[in-house]
Each structure stands twice: as structure tokens, then as C-alpha cells.
Amino acid sequence: MRSAHEWEARYQQGNTGWDRGDTSPALATWLESGAIRPCRTLIPGCGRGHEVLALSRRGFDITGLDFAPSAVAHVQQALSREGLEAEIRQADVLQWQPDAPFDAIYEQTCLCALPDDTWQDYAANLHGWLKPGGQLYALFMQTGQPGGPPRHCDLLRMHQIFDDARWQWPGSEPLFVPHHNGRFELGYILTRK
């Protein structure tokens, strides 16, 4: 899937199996532990904006991106209802460029939704979008199956794409984040070199 039209069709058909209906348990864990604190944060592929809202409530300066117009409209309406602020943009994550780099990026379901032949380009964008020393809060989808979306984010391939020359991987074990569809994600906090 490479077009806004295709993603919009999924929202219109209710084919949004990636949407938990609430904030990811990984983000809740990172917030509670203090691993992520208010800062200028990007959420690519923000969908209906559960994480946008959660971080905006806590004083983060948020920018959210999504390809689907109805997802963008949903987040904007939810922010307005709660009197919250965030910049929400309809954009292609393979083309969009910010005015200034971010302190943090929360990457949850965007990478696994992209065609895997674009992952290297997307990872280069993530690196470019972050300040040196900025942190990438990454959830790598584990499906164990070919095809998608969501696509399986094999950890060996993730280490190749998010290579040691540009990223520092943590020495700790990843967060294990089960998903309602029987799959799970592995959460890592990578630091941009």
C-alpha cells in the first residue's frame, strides 16, 4: 500500500486491525517509568491519534502524520473536543520533511505498514528527523508470517536497517507488547548518533 487512497479505503471499510482503541501499553510503560518526558515529539502514521492525545495531555509538543484524510480529521476533532493542541498533517512519510528536527519519535505501526522495499528510506528519514542524541521509541511488529500489512519486522533486519553507525541500541531486553490480533511487538528505545 503506497497511496493515501488505499489507506483511506481501509478506514472507510473499518479495516483497521492495528488500532487498539486506546494508547499502546508500551507508551504507557515508557511514560510511567519516565523513559519519555515532555519534548518535541513526532508520531508518524498516527492513525486515530490515541498516542497523540495521550502525549498532548501530558504537555508534549506533538506533530502527528498520517496518509488517510479521515484519520487526520478524526485526530483533529478529538484534539478540539478536549481543548488540546498538536500539529496533525496529512503526509506521506517517505516524502515529508519537517522544518526542524525532533527530540523524540514514537514509531508504532508505521514501519510495519510500509512496503519493506521502502524501509531503508524510511529509516533514513527517521534518522534525519531526529536531533543527534534524540530517541526513537520503536515498536517492531512480530507476525512470523510473510506479507502484510502488518509486515514482520525481523530483528536481524531491524539491526541492519537501524545500523550501529547511526543508532545506539539499548543493552536491555525489549518490551514485550501483545496485540489483540494474536501478534506482538518488541519495544526498543534507540538513540540517534
The whole model's pTM is what?
Answer: 0.92
DSSP string, 92-135: -TTT---SS-EEEEEESSSGGGS-GGGHHHHHHHHHHHEEEEEE
Q: Could you list the residue range(s) of the whole structural domain that residue 168 is in?
A: 4-13+20-192
Rg, C-alpha atoms of the chain: 15
Span 123-176, pLDDT tens digits = 999 999 999 999 999 999 999 899 888 899 999 999 999 999 999 999 999 999
Q: Specify whether the CB–CB gap between 141 and 176 falls below 8 A.
A: no
**Domain with 165 in it: what CATH number?**
3.40.50.150
Instruction: Give percent of the chain with pLDDT exceeding 90.
Output: 76
Count the domains in the chain.
1
Q: Specify whether the CB–CB gap between 65 and 125 falls below 8 A.
A: no
What do you get for the CA distance between the two ends of the chain, in Å?
A: 31
Band the pLDDT of 17: cuts 50, 70, 90. Answer: low
Pairing of strands 184-192, 175-178: antiparallel
